[in-house]
Amino acid sequence: MQDKIYLDYAATTPCDNRVIDAMIPYFSENFGNPNSLHLYGEKAKGGENRARQQIANLINADFDEVIFTSGATESSNIAILRAMEHIKDRFFATIKTEHKATLTCAETLRRGGVAVKYLDINSDGLLNFEALETLLENVGLLSICLVNNETGALQDIKRISEMCTKNDVLLHIDATQGFGKIPIDVKFLDIDFLSASAHKIYGPKGIGILFCKKTKRKYIRIPNANYDVEFGIRAGTIPVPLCVGFGAAANIAQESMESDYNRIKNLRMYLIDSIKAQLEEIYINGSGSSNYPGIINLSFRGCEGEALMMEANRIAISSGSACTSNKLSISHVLAAMNIRPDIAQSSLRISIGRMTTKEDIDVAIEALINATNKLRKMSPIWDMIKSGIDIDSVFKR
């Protein structure tokens, strides 16, 4: 592992040592149940409340608008599936490039008889607003990823929110890849629900949050639930150590967001410029103007993505999202963007994080260039490309 360079921060992140230090007392000294009235319970409740406020501060939410969950997937399930129980007479809508967690919710709704619409996107991965405008009149809930987990495409949530408000449409944002990395102000954006996970921002796995605007809580409350337990939205004993860890991670993210972003942006440009200077037929998949710079989707034409990933095995990267990277089919995200099949199949996702150094990027550049040159020498596809053969026609056979 010491010889490996980790560049898969979009899949998960290492737990920050400061986060671990914050959690430790709540595994041992302050181990009480936060619902208990004695001193042990009070100390645990204090840690939970502090964490909830730290997370609320990060996104400009109110304290009681932050609900702890097991992760962003559960948060999205609660927001989407429960809300749609109240608005079955209208469509559920999402975009074709959404994370599998949202697409699974959409399929669940469809099987239950709810009409589901999948919105088209442009070739840069951004939402087609003309398509959205024509659809919104009949939509009850729209779910959109803030930052796409494969390409880093950053959606214009403010514009989407304004359109939803105009048409009386509930809006859920999957903020998993942007939470704690770019500024999010839920009041300014005027969104109804937001999902996020701690392990994407150097916090522990197994804990997430659902932001729910107070006026929309009625859509997701459990009937006859105890309001004192997560405001009647989720039952069970709160994992206080994990909550404390998420709070600490959120607090660190708020303090270091600008410096982290700028450093990651510089590393991104250095990586892309260095590779494109030494290799031809390199393509960036996703928006060049509206993106989170820590996620880079590159296609190395003439190489198969998984083969390239295995050849450049000194770096830990992905051939797609972590939830789908074990499949050899073309990513549904790149397919929805109408990326040419041979380019889509040669794609890799490289994601940069807080711990990434320039030396790490230098290793990655060398490894990817060497692997690409080696594979292209053995590739009949590359020979056809160099000979001017129409590769698209080959892939369509």
Cα dihedral across residues 330, 331, 336, 337: positive or negative = negative
Which residue matches tokens 């150097």? 202
Q: Which fold has domain 5-11+257-384?
A: Aspartate Aminotransferase, domain 1 (3.90.1150)
| Residue 152 scores a pLDDT above 80 | yes
Q: What is the pLDDT of residue 325?
A: 44
Write phi, then psi, for 60 (nearest 5 degrees): 60, 45
Beta strands (DSSP E) in 77-184 are 91-95, 116-119, 139-145, 170-174
The pTM of this model reads: 0.92
Residue 365 tokens, joined: 């550049």
Q: What is the pLDDT of residue 393?
A: 65
How sure is the predictor about 395, in pLDDT bands with cuts at 50, 70 and 90?
A: low
Question: Where are the chain's structural domains?
Answer: 5-11+257-384, 17-253
| Residue 335 scores a pLDDT above 70 | yes
| Residue 394 scores a pLDDT above 70 | no
Q: What is the pLDDT of residue 384?
A: 84
pLDDT mean across residues, the chain: 92
In DSSP terms, 110 is beta-bridged to none
How sure is the predictor about 182, in pLDDT bands with cuts at 50, 70 and 90?
A: very high
Contact 145, 155 (CB under 8 A): yes
Residues contacting residue 34 through CB under 8 Å, at least 6 positions apart: 41, 44, 45, 47, 48, 237, 238, 240
Question: Is residue 323 annotated as a catalytic residue, yes or no?
Answer: yes
Residues contacting residue 66 through CB under 8 Å, at least 6 positions apart: 52, 55, 56, 209, 210, 211
What percentage of residues in the chain have a pLDDT greater than 70?
A: 95
| Residue 55 scores a pLDDT above 90 | yes
The CATH architecture annotation of domain 17-253 reads: 3-Layer(aba) Sandwich (3.40)
Tens of pLDDT, residue by residue over 271-328, are 999 999 999 999 999 998 999 999 999 999 999 888 999 999 999 999 854 444 444 5
How sure is the predictor about 236, in pLDDT bands with cuts at 50, 70 and 90?
A: confident
| Residue 77 scores a pLDDT above 70 | yes
Beta strands (DSSP E) in the chain are 5-6, 66-69, 91-95, 116-119, 139-145, 170-174, 193-197, 208-212, 282-284, 295-300, 315-316, 347-351
- Catalytic choice (105, 145, 212, 323): 323
